[in-house]
Structure 1
C-alpha cells in the first residue's frame, strides 16, 4: 500500500506537468510566477519534448534563470538543457550575460538591491563558467565587480576578483588575468589592514592555478602551499576539493609525486563521500587524477581515468562544449603515449580530431587553447608518416605536422614569450619532426634550444630536460653518427629517469635501445652486453608493473581521510 500511495501522486504530478506543457502558450504568463522546482520541471519537460525555441525564450530571462539557479539538486539537468540551447542557437549564454550587464547598469543607483544583484551575478557567472562558456562568464563577473566597487566592501569585491581570475585562467587570457591578480593582491592587503576575517585558501588556490596555466612552476607551487596551510574544516567542501586538486597538479610539476598522490586521492575521496561519483566536480577531479597518473608513468590507468572523465563531461554537455573538447584532448595525449610502442594511434587520432573540431567551432583560430590539441595531432601524424610506405603521403603528413607545430609554437611564444616550458616543448617537437624530415641541422638547433630553455627554468635534472636530451641523443645516434656525444646524452637521460621514476620507468626502453646501437656501432661488445642485460631486467620490472595495473582499478582509493587542517602538516613529513 505504501508504494502505491507513493506512486499515485508521482503520476499525477507528471501528468499535470505534461498537461501544462501541452498548453504552454495559454499558461506562459502563469508559468513564470511558479517557484523554482515547479518552474524547472515544466521547462525541463519542454526541453525533453524538443521545444527549444520556446525554451530559449524562457532561458534568456534573468528572472527565470535566477529561479532555476536556486534549484541546486537538478543542476546537472540544467546543464543538459542549457547545452542543448547552445547547440541549437549559440546565443543564450551571450543574451544572459548582456542582460545581466544592462541590469547592473541600472542597479548601480539602487543600493538596497545591490547585494542581491551581486549574489545573483556570482551564481550566474559561476554557472556559465562551469558550463564552459568562459567569455560570457567573464562579462558577468566583470559587471558584478563594478557593482561590488560601489559598496566599497572588500570581502565580496575580493571574491569577484578571484572568480574573474579563475575564468580568465580557464580561458587562457593571461594578459587580463595579470591585472586581476594584482587587484586581488591589493584586496588581500586591504582586508588584512582592516582586520576583516577571510579565509584565503581558495584565493591562494586560484593564484596557483593562474601561474600553473602559464607553466610558472615555482609560483604555482608556492601559492598552492599557502592555500593548503589556510585549509580548515569550516570551508565549503568544494573549496577544499579545488585547493587539493590544484596543489596536486603543482606538486606534479615539481616532481613531488608522493605528495601529489596524497592530495589528489584526498580530493577524490572527499568528492565521492560528499557528492557521489556522477557529478561535474567528479569529472573535473578525475581529469586532474588522470594528469597525476600519466605523470607518474601509470599510463594505462591514466587512459582509463581520462576516459571516465570524458564520459562524465559528455553526459553533462553533449558534444559542442569546451569542457568536452579539453577532455578529448587529455585522453588523446594519454592514448598517444599508451599506443606509442604498438604504433596504432587510431584512438589518439580520433580524440584529437574531436577536440580540434569542437574547439574550431567555438574559438577563434588563434586561441591558445588550440595549442595542446594541435601538438598532439602533429605528434600522431609524424608517427603515421614514419610508418607509411607511400612517399608522397608521408611527405604530406609531415608537412601538415610542421604546420601544426609551428602554429602551436607561434601561439605559445605570443602568450608566454621565449623563456617558457611550453615554448621549449614546441621547439623539441619541431626537433623530432625535422629529424623525421631529414633536416638534421635544423633538428639539432631545435633540440639544443629546447634543452637551453628547460635547463634555465627547471635546472639540469628535470624530467623535461631528460626528454629533450634523449631526443637529441637519438638524432646523434641514428642520423648524424655522433656516437660518443649520443652515449653521454643517453646516460644522462637514463640517470634522470631512474632518479625520478625508478628502474621500471617506461621511457628507459628507448634510451637503452639507443645506447645498445651506439655500442654496436662503436664495437664496444662489453658495454653492449651489459646494457642488454639491464634491458632484460627492465622488461621484467615493466611487465610486473603492467600486470599489476591490469589487476587493479585506479578508482579504488585505499586511503583514509585526512582532516583539512592536517594536510599541510602531513606533507611536511614526506
Structure 2
C-alpha cells in the first residue's frame, strides 16, 4: 500500500469518529491530492463514505462543500474510465474494482438526487453508463476468448487420443494462458486445464512435470472447492494413477482411498463414480499381485455397475475385462476367457466391432491364448485388434505400436525370430517418433528385442538391448520400480547363460531387493527371483545358499 493511500484510510477512519462538521472538514482537507490522480479505487470508496458521514452532520450551506468533493471524485473516476475505454494499452478494471466503482457512483447519484443537484446527478449517471458499457464489452470479449480456449481444449483432446502428445500439450498451453489471464491462477476452471496438462505429461512419460501440474490443480481445488468436492476427488484419483505408474503402490493406494472417501460420502456407495474408484484400487492390488484383494474391489465395482448401469453397459464390460485380467494373472485361463468373452459381447453389441474398446478385448483374449500356447488363435485375435487400431488410430499411434509388439511376441514364441524383429522394429519406430527416445514404451520394446537376441543365442546383442532398456527405466521410473527389477533379472539371465555367475548374482540381488520391498517375500515375482538365485548359487556350488533360496522359492523343504 502506498503512503498517501494509507494516510487516506487513517484520515477517513478519524472522520468516522467525529460528529463535528468543522472538525471533519479540517480532517478531510488533509487527505493528499494524489488520491484523485492515482485513482486508487478502495481509497476513493473510503473517501466517499467519509463524505457521506459528513452529510449526516452538515447543515444546508455546509453540504455545498461536500458536493464539491464528490464532484472531484466523480471527475476523477470519469476521466480514468474514459481513458481505459479508449486506450488499448491501459489495463482494464478488475471485476472487483468495477463493482466498487459502480457502488461509489451509485451512492453519489443518490446523494445528488436527495440534494436536488440534477446536473451533477446526470453526470454521475453518465459515468455509470460508461463503466457498465465497458463492463459488458469486457465480458463479451472475455467470453470470446474463453470460447477460443475451449476450442483449444477440444483440439488438445483430439491430439491426445491420436497419441500426438506434443500437439496436445501445445494447444492445452494456449488454453491455459487464456484461462490464467481471464479466470486467474486460483480458479477451478484453471485447475481443470492444469489437470489436463498433467495427464498429457503423464502419457508422455514425463512424470515429474505431470506431478507439478496435478499439484497445481489440487491446491486450487482444495482451496476453492474444499477437500470433499467430486472435482478434488478426480485429482486425487489422477495423482494415484501417477504414483501407480511409477511403482509407488502405497502412495497410489493412499490417494485412491482419499478419492473413495469423497465418492462414498458425496455421491453414495451405489454411484458409478464410486465404482470407478473401487476399480482403481483393485488395479493397485493387482499390480502388487494381491489378487484376492483385487478381485474383492472389482466385485464391489461390478455389483454397482450391474445394478445401476445394467449388464449391457460398456462400463460394466470394463470391469468384466479387468476381472478377466486377474484370472489370467492367476493362471485361471478358463475363467479369464469367460470374463473376456462377456466383455466382448457387450462391447460388440454396444460399441460395434470396429471400436477401440472392442480392439482392446481382442488384444486381451489373444494374451490368454498366448499364455496357453495356442499361438495361432492368439495371432488371429492380435490381428483383429491391429486392423481396428490401424483404421481408427493410424499406423503411427502408440496403441498400434503395442499391437505390433504383441504380434512380435507370438513370432518369438514360435521361433520365427526374423518376423519377430520386423514387428518389434515397427513398434520401435512408432514410439521413438511419437513419444521420444526416453519413454518407458521404448524401454519395453528394447527389452523385448533383447529377449529375441537371447533366444537366438546372441548374448552380446541381448545384453546391449537389455542395458539400453535399463538406462531408460532408471531415468523414467527410478531405481526401485518393479519394471526396473524385471530388467535386472533379465540381465542376470544373460550373465547366467554366458557363465558369468558373479555378475548374474549382482543383478539378481538388485531385482530381489526391489521385489521384496514392493511385493514382500511370499509373492510369485519375488519367488521367481529366489529360484534364479538358487540356480546361480548351485552353479557356483554354494549349496547352502542355493538351498536357502530354494526354500524361499518353495522348491525345497526347510
User: Shorter-chain-normalised TM-score: which range?
Assistant: 0.5 to 0.7
Residue 411 of structure 1 and its aligned partner are, at CA, apart by 0.7
CA contact (8 A) 1:371 1:408 kept: yes
CA separation of 1:159 and 1:329: change in aligned 2, threshold 3 A: farther
C-alpha distance in 1 between matches for 2:287 and 2:360: 18
Residue 295 of structure 1 and its aligned partner are, at CA, apart by 2.3
Q: Structure 2 matches for 1:134-145, cutoff 5 A? A: none
CA contact (8 A) 1:287 1:327 kept: no
Residue 209 of structure 1 and its aligned partner are, at CA, apart by 1.1
C-alpha distance in 2 between matches for 1:239 and 1:311: 33
Q: TM-score, normalised by structure 2?
A: 0.58
2:182 maps to 191
CA separation of 1:274 and 1:326: change in aligned 2, threshold 3 A: farther
2:395 maps to 365
1:480 maps to 498
Pick one of 362, 367, 374 that aligns with 2:404.
374
SS at match of 1:460: coil
CA contact (8 A) 2:236 2:258 kept: yes
C-alpha distance in 1 between matches for 2:195 and 2:343: 22
Q: TM-score, normalised by structure 1?
A: 0.56
SS at match of 1:475: helix
1:528 maps to 546
Q: Which structure carries more relative contact order (alpha carbon 8 Å, separation 6+)?
A: 1
Confirm whether residue 445 of structure 1 aligns to residue 437 of structure 2. no
C-alpha distance in 2 between matches for 1:214 and 1:170: 12
Q: Which stretch has the larger CA shift, 315-324 or 264-273?
A: 264-273
C-alpha distance in 2 between matches for 1:294 and 1:494: 19
C-alpha distance in 2 between matches for 1:149 and 1:399: 63
1:248 maps to 240
1:162 maps to 153
Per-residue Cα deviation, 1:395-415 (whole angstroms, up to 9, x for no partner) = x3x333222211111111111
CA separation of 1:379 and 1:486: change in aligned 2, threshold 3 A: same
Residue 487 of structure 1 and its aligned partner are, at CA, apart by 0.8
| Aligned alpha-carbon RMSD (Å) | 4.0
SS at match of 1:424: helix
CA contact (8 A) 1:168 1:177 kept: yes
Q: Structure 2 matches for 1:492-531, cutoff 5 A? A: 492-531=510-549
CA separation of 1:310 and 1:538: change in aligned 2, threshold 3 A: farther
- CA radius of gyration, larger in: 2
Q: Structure 2 matches for 1:420-459, cutoff 5 A? A: 420-459=439-478
C-alpha distance in 2 between matches for 1:284 and 1:349: 31
C-alpha distance in 1 between matches for 2:377 and 2:260: 27
CA contact (8 A) 1:287 1:305 kept: no
CA separation of 1:291 and 1:353: change in aligned 2, threshold 3 A: farther
C-alpha distance in 1 between matches for 2:165 and 2:537: 48
- Structure 2 gaps of 5+ residues are 1-138, 299-321, 326-339
CA separation of 1:379 and 1:222: change in aligned 2, threshold 3 A: farther
Per-residue Cα deviation, 1:457-492 (whole angstroms, up to 9, x for no partner) = 333222222111111111111x21111110111011
Residue 252 of structure 1 and its aligned partner are, at CA, apart by 0.4
CA separation of 1:325 and 1:273: change in aligned 2, threshold 3 A: farther
CA separation of 1:539 and 1:330: change in aligned 2, threshold 3 A: farther
1:322 maps to 356
CA contact (8 A) 1:283 1:313 kept: no
1:218 maps to 208
